[in-house]
Each structure stands twice: as C-alpha cells, then as structure tokens.
Amino acid sequence: MNIRVTTANMALLECFASETRVRVIELLDAAPRSIKELAAELGLSSAIVTKHIQKLESAGIVGTESISGTRGRLKVCRLLPDAVTLQLRAPAARDASRRYDVSIPVGQYTDFKVKPTCGLASETSMIGIVDDPRYFWDPEHVKAKMLWFGSGYVEYRVPNYLVGGQTVSSVTISMEICSEAPGYNERWPSDITFGINGRELGTWTCPGDFGAQKGVFTPNWWYHGTQHGLLKTIAIRRDGTFLDGIRLSALTPSDLGIRPNEELRLRIACPETAVRCGGVSLFGRQFGHYDQDIEVAITYEKQDERI
C-alpha cells in the first residue's frame, strides 16, 4: 500500500498517532483477535477498542468479520496490508506526464504451463474443470478473476507505448498473490519468482495460502479454501529491483531489453525445482482483499533527459 503524505490521507496517517492503535497492530500481527480479546490484552473497555478498530478499518488497515461464538457473535479483527509505504514527495511534473498505467485482468495471460492443483474462477462460477490444465486455454479463461496452480507459470503481455528516443526509467507492478495448497494452509511457504522479458527479477517466499478469513471482495458462492492473498509491489528502478521496498536484485530497466514496439513479457512462476514449491494463487478484481487486477505503471523519458 503506497500512501502520499497529504491532508487528503489524514484518516490513515492518524491511525499511527495513537499508541493504542499501534499496539492493536502489534497484537494483530501476531494473530487475529476478537474485540473482547484485544480489550483484555490492552486493559481497555470493549467500547473504546471498538472505536479504535473502526478507525483502523475505515483506513483499510484492519478487516473485521462477524463469526459465531459460544455466547453469540464475535467480531474478529485481522491486519490487511503487509506494509504501508509513505511517499513524502509528489512525482515531478515531468515524471507525472511521462507515465502510463495498465490494468491487466488475471485471466488475460498469453502463455502458461501449470500443474495441479489448478483452476480458474470468474466472479460468478468456476471456469472449466478443476485440476485439469487444459482448461487454462478455454476461451472463457479471459474472464477469470482468480487462478491458481501447484507449479509452473503464467505469462502476461504488458503493452509498450514507447516511441523512438524514449527509454523506460521505472516499471512498477502490483498484484494480490499467495501460495496454493490443497484447500488452504496458512503455513504453506512457496518460492514465487517474477520475471520480465526472460530476465529473472527475483524470488519471494510467500508464507502461506490464506483461507481462515473470508476475502473482503471474494464472492459468497466461492467454496474453494483460498480466500485472499497479500498485496505485493515490485519496483524496477535505476538503483535495482525491490519488493515492497526490500531489494530483490540489481536488475534495472536497462537490463530488461525493453524496446519501442515490443511488449513486456511478465512471468509469475513457481518452478517444480524451487526449494519450496508451494504454488501460486493470483487474485483480480472481485476476489480477495484488494479490488484490483495486475497493475503496471511505466515511467519513461527521452534519451537526452537521462541524468
């Protein structure tokens, strides 16, 4: 989650101005908790804790779910984002005007090689037969809002709108993703590798396949165990490639062979040879915790503007 430090985002920024709310975040980082449990650990009344949770929930930091308890309903709270990145400076006017954004639905892959467990789902139903990779070429695959596979890869084509004399200065890719276990398993590590144009950007180990909490946007008909993923952002810049601000590799845009009139090939993979081959679950709009597809932002400049 990238947040500009502006008055327009005060509701989120104020969440961190309270020691109690920061303590709530610390407790929920360890495990989901009910309002009653939080109140007991903080030494506060449930009414006061509820007000803090409402503020965190409205800012998109905490998600809540009402479940049946031994004595009525319980409101269970969970952390949503893994990280919040604060952007202090606005993009330069030149950069803002020399940028384009592309939203790629998860079902609009252009190549794949997957092994079970695997499948596709739209916002209303399953697409084809579960655990049969042949259905990844079903014409309906473009309507998929979620897909999963035990090993292999999916590849997407990112449009390249550069013309002669322009070079890419950064590529940013955001997606909701997690591991893929039969049903689900919150402790199911998976080494997921990202690549562009045949160059490996780096590997991230996802901690699990998340199904204990219903996805905020996951449709009610969905019966498969996996409910949501983690929002991850990859940034390929002149100083290297980063995942949520943590360095993945030394690759820069100039290493990716990006040329005018040639699209970018984005690959998301979990090879069978990975140390932790725990698969991939990928979420688009109307699924998971974040109502988004694979979001790509590309900034560029003329060759004579390079520093």
Residue ranges matching CATH 1.10.10.10 in the chain: 2-79
pLDDT at position 307, please? 43
Q: Are 193 and 235 in contact (CB under 8 A)?
A: no
CATH architecture of 2-79: Orthogonal Bundle (1.10)
Closest CA to 1 of 299, 206, 292, 298: 292
pLDDT at position 93, please? 47
d(CA 202, CA 191): 10
d(CA 270, CA 258): 24
Tokens linked to 184: 């689900």
Under-70 pLDDT residues of the chain: 1, 70-71, 90-97, 303-307
pLDDT at position 1, please? 66
Average pLDDT over all residues of the chain: 91
CATH class of 91-305: mainly beta
pLDDT at position 8, please? 76
d(CA 229, CA 293): 12
pTM of the model: 0.74
Per-residue model confidence as pLDDT tens digits over 10-69: 888 999 999 999 999 999 999 999 999 999 999 999 999 999 999 998 888 998 887 777
* For the chain, the helix, strand and coil percentages under 3-state DSSP, each to the nearest 5: 20, 40, 40
| Cα 56 from chain centroid (whole Å) | 20
pLDDT at position 103, please? 96
Residue type for 155, please? E
pLDDT at position 92, please? 53
pLDDT at position 293, please? 96
pLDDT at position 4, please? 78
Residue ranges matching CATH 2.60.120 in the chain: 91-305
pLDDT at position 86, please? 83
Q: Are 134 and 118 in contact (CB under 8 A)?
A: no
